[in-house]
Amino acid sequence: MILICFGTRPEWLKVKPFVEQLDNVKLLFTGQHADLLKDIKVDYRINIGNETNRLDQIISDCLMQFPEGDFDVMVHGDTVSALACALAAFSRKKRIIHIEAGLRSHNLTQPYPEEGYRQMISRIADINFAPTSISARNLEREHVIGDIHIVGNSVLDNLTEYKDECEYTDKVLITLHRWENHHWMDEWFKELNEVAKKYSNIEFTIPLHHNPAVRKHKDLLTNVNVVPALPHNEMLDLMSKCKFIITDSGGLQEEGTFLNKKIIVCRDVTERPEGLNTGHLTLCKEPKDLMGLVDTINRDYIIKESCPYGDGNTAIKVKEILDGYSNS
């Protein structure tokens, strides 16, 4: 049996294909995004750090509430839920399966704290499912003890039905929320507003993140279509039909690339460098550089290179590999 652990919306999207594909699983929800469970039935629910949101409290809560049983533990990516559940599994001598292993920016502040969390999980994971050869090489260079398998990124398993519906319309999707952009979110929003003013024939839409550090600057976006956070299916519909994307999100780098979109990444560095090599991604390190990059991409927005992050069959590959462990 495999206990699949998750606590956030992005995690759920990336573990959902394994819930659908693997034979004998149970679900543990950590409560990190407390309102997530409207339509998801889980076997275990714990509550981590809801009162203080301090790392010591989160890990302590998880260690104390983590269920006992005969199972392997699957965690995904780099959230505090993944770290806490991996540590709880390690303390109980459970086999740890790490999905989306090996992503690295090689800068502990970019993104913070996720870069640190995923490196810590890699030290104790028994099986590492890396999305690409670059992420696998990162793990090899770190001499991790666990086995390494390249399987692609599971979020793409959710997108296959949208890939054939892709088109380019006069719409641009924007998302900004990263901690490392909070200190100058006002500057990003001012520049985005100028871009939208210049390209008034294009509808720039930003589903606004719930974080107060983002929301407090929304009045700067007078030329941008500001909407509430969208359900994932509506985000995918907008993504499949937009001209290009402006974001600091990791998941959108993968999803947008799979849907043949060029993406301006508002960060100094990306832990997904494969898209830089194929031309899908372009880094925008400062707000003042945004207008020039939009000018360039708006002239040449179609890309035909294949997605470097996977083919939409990650869960099937993981199942075949895990079946091999069970039979050995």
306 belongs to a structural domain = no
72 belongs to a structural domain = yes
**pLDDT category of residue 39 using cuts at 50, 70 and 90:** confident
58 belongs to a structural domain = yes
Q: Which domain holds residue 169?
A: 160-299
248 belongs to a structural domain = yes
- Could you tell me the CATH number of the domain that includes residue 167? 3.40.50.2000
304 belongs to a structural domain = no
What pLDDT does residue 328 have? 63
Instruction: For residue 171, give the nearest of 237, 238, 234, 236 by alpha carbon.
Output: 238
Answer yes or no: are the C-beta atoms of 7 and 81 closer than 8 Å: yes
| Residues 209 and 117 grouped into a single domain | no
Over residues 128-152, mean pLDDT: 98
| Residues 71 and 39 grouped into a single domain | yes
Provide the mean pLDDT of the chain: 95
Instruction: For residue 281, give the nearest of 298, 261, 300, 299 by alpha carbon.
Output: 261
What pLDDT does residue 213 have? 94
| Residues 41 and 121 grouped into a single domain | yes
307 belongs to a structural domain = no
| Residues 62 and 73 grouped into a single domain | yes
Question: Which three-class secondary structure state does DSSP give residue 244?
Answer: strand
Q: How far is CA 82 from CA 86, 105, 196, 200, 237, in A?
A: 6, 18, 38, 42, 29
**Tens digits of per-residue pLDDT, 83-93?**
999 999 999 99
Answer yes or no: are the C-beta atoms of 33 and 9 closer than 8 Å: yes
pLDDT at 51 over 70: no
Question: Which three-class secondary structure state does DSSP give residue 25?
Answer: strand
**Tens digits of per-residue pLDDT, 270-289?**
999 999 999 999 999 999 99
264 belongs to a structural domain = yes
**Tens digits of per-residue pLDDT, 145-154?**
999 999 999 9
pLDDT at 133 over 80: yes
| Residues 192 and 122 grouped into a single domain | no
| Residues 113 and 171 grouped into a single domain | no
| Residues 113 and 193 grouped into a single domain | no
| Residues 239 and 177 grouped into a single domain | yes
Q: Which of 30-34, 65-69, 150-154, 204-208 shows the lowest mean pLDDT across its residues?
A: 30-34
| Residues 206 and 84 grouped into a single domain | no
Residue for token pair 């898209």: 275
How far, in Å, CA of 223 to CA of 205, rounded? 10
| Residues 132 and 172 grouped into a single domain | no
| Residues 50 and 190 grouped into a single domain | no
Over residues 58-75, mean pLDDT: 95
* Count of domains forming the chain: 2
| Residues 208 and 293 grouped into a single domain | yes
